Structure 1
């Protein structure tokens, strides 16, 4: 399995890629090419070009959740596909997998939209829509975890100022039930790839173990949403992840410096950013 970070808040040192407050990761396994999230803009496309990565032939587009820093790049991806079609360039039609609530309107304070700029109806013109609350196996080894059960009390954040507009047109508190992740069964154990971990990175990892039946976790890559997190939550998260005896931990995107320092006391935290390429054996 190969995972390429197309965009992150940071960039790999001494490599000439772009960063932005967003995340996009290309996962390749079992002959499939799966794009997890599209970042905030077209930066992930520019970085893919610099790495000579073809985004016109994807099998799956997976949205970890509906926030702007993971979905607004959809506009640029559709532009890329549209221009390819106009110019007669061969391209595929990916399937789009996300929680059913990932594409609803979201509000924050006085900001009228922090969710996807494009609704499901228009996206269906470009992708084969495959919404799901339940886990979905994309290949023999790669699974979308679906809606994440909230098991650990220390990861519960509580109500925020964020709201969403439900399918019935009601404005309700946004509990971010659409937040999900991918997990891949490699020869050495599980690799978990999250977007923001609003549902809690420990909850995500625990659910991945239950869905796959795999106890061993070798790496967790993605945003952990540990921004100005209370010390008690940081320590509980570090204790849980440290007990997994990971081979590496690639905390990025929405994980601040204080959180990484805390995690590094118990986990093998590694540098992460735009341009990072990770490979895990999947030969057995």
Structure 2
């Protein structure tokens, strides 16, 4: 498997890639091409061109959850489709939790979720809206709705979602992730890990049946995390004996420092390519 961070909050030192408060990755596994999240703007498209990644030729688009910093780039992707009449655009399959495409709001922002309706998305993609795990390739799985089993990763709400015609507190049941089975163990790929990165790793183990975890990467949603959350998280990840921990996006500096005291934290930024 090869994975490229198309956009992250940071860019690698000395690179010319764009950064933004969003996340998008491009993954190649088993001959399939997967776009995981799309960031906030067209930055992922600009960086993809610079990396030589053709986003008109995708097998899958997978969404980690329905927040704007992971889904609003879909608008820009469709614009690219429409502005490429001389190119054959492969009709990709799009997998997401059903609640990922619902209207959301937060702190007065009228739309905190995706801007495109399911009907509009279905005009361009074959939708797979499910809360169940799904294998995208022989080795790469979408994890479905993540079971919350860690007592230190308690459910928290962020804004509201529209459900049954009413807005309700959003505990983000649509949060999910990917996991790739390699010869040396699992690579767990999180978008934001609103349900907790340790819960996410445990879900990956259950879905794949593989216990050994070699790497964990992506957003860990550790912002202003207190010691009661950060300490057990670092202990859990340290016990995995990882090759590397590529934490980014929604993981603040204090969390990275805390994790680095016990775990092999690696640098991450737009344009970084990893091979497992």
TM over 0.5, shorter chain = yes
Q: Which residue of 2 aligns with 1:194?
A: 190
**What aligned pairs does 1:1-284 form with structure 2 within 5 A after superposition?**
1-85=1-85, 88-160=86-158, 162-166=159-163, 168-280=164-276
Deviation at 1:157, TM superposition (A): 4.3
1:81–1:191: structure 2 CA closer, same or farther, 3 Å change rule? same
Deviations 1:58-103 (A, max 9, x none): 0000000000000000000000011113xx2121011010000001
Gaps of at least 5 residues in structure 2 are: none
The answer to whether the Cα contact below 8 Å between 2:91 and 2:124 also exists between their aligned partners in 1 is: yes
Deviations 1:12-51 (A, max 9, x none): 1111100000000001000100000000000000000111
Q: Which moved more, 1:104-113 or 1:38-47?
A: 104-113
SS at match of 1:70: helix
Deviations 1:243-284 (A, max 9, x none): 00000000000000000000011110000010100001xxxx
1:178–1:52: structure 2 CA closer, same or farther, 3 Å change rule? same
State how far apart, in whole Å, the 1-side matches of 2:209 and 2:262 are: 25
The answer to whether the Cα contact below 8 Å between 2:155 and 2:171 also exists between their aligned partners in 1 is: no
Gaps of at least 5 residues in structure 1 are: none
Deviation at 1:221, TM superposition (A): 1.0
The answer to whether the Cα contact below 8 Å between 2:155 and 2:195 also exists between their aligned partners in 1 is: no
TM-score normalised by the chain length of structure 1:
0.96
State how far apart, in whole Å, the 2-side matches of 1:233 and 1:97 are: 30
Deviations 1:200-234 (A, max 9, x none): 10000011011111111111110000000111100
RMSD value, Cα = 0.8
SS at match of 2:84: helix
State how far apart, in whole Å, the 2-side matches of 1:159 and 1:24 are: 23
Deviation at 1:6, TM superposition (A): 0.1
